[in-house]
Amino acid sequence: MKIHLQQIPDEGKHFEGEANPAILELSEPYIVPESPVRYSLDVGISEGGLFATGSLELDLRLRCVRCLDEFPFPVRIRDFACQVELTGNETVDLTPLAREDILLALPAHPHCDWDGQKPCEAPVGGLLNRGSEPSPNPQDGNRTSAVWGQLDQLNFEKE
């Protein structure tokens, strides 16, 4: 998303387009872009700086941290804004700034039930006992309860 400064008139200019999702430099296999990065930006120049406001959009496929199912996740940044100091170059690259805003919009712990449309299929106790309900009794062989049972056996002496 490079802006050529000579193309921007005094009143500013509107830019719309798509960028390859490779600009995000995603290395995680559980975050998969399903669309290009779409942008709609109003760009102007004022007192030695370039400013841009507008929106960024991208469709991703994420993996739920509870059930490990993949699910669609739209990223919609409606209030993108940035200002870049002009250094004498003919172009200004807004790609790193757009990338940062998109990455900050991603959930740290994605859940497939994020929008309330689909309930997560993971059992209440999590992945350790996938396929069975957790039991409050640590003696019944349930793996999750066995872990807690080991912690319950710790002896903390008060001094």
Query: pLDDT, tens digit, for every residue of 4-20?
Result: 888 888 888 899 999 89
Residues 128 and 60 in one domain: no
Whole-number pLDDT of residue 147: 61
Residues 54 and 100 in one domain: yes
Query: pLDDT, tens digit, for every residue of 43-66?
Result: 988 887 889 999 999 999 999 888
Question: Judging by beta carbons within 10 Å of its beta carbon (0-12, 13-18, 19+), is residue 91 exposed, middle or buried?
Answer: exposed
Q: Is 111 among the domain residues?
A: no
Residues 28 and 70 in one domain: yes
Residues 26 and 60 in one domain: yes
Whole-number pLDDT of residue 130: 44
Torsion angle of alpha carbons 69, 36, 59, 79, nearest 10°? 140
| Domain enclosing residue 72, as ranges | 2-105
Residues 53 and 85 in one domain: yes
Which pTM does this prediction carry? 0.68
Residues 54 and 85 in one domain: yes
Residue 153 has pLDDT above 50, yes or no: yes
Pair 35, 21: CB distance under 8 Å: yes
Average pLDDT value for residue range 72-77: 92
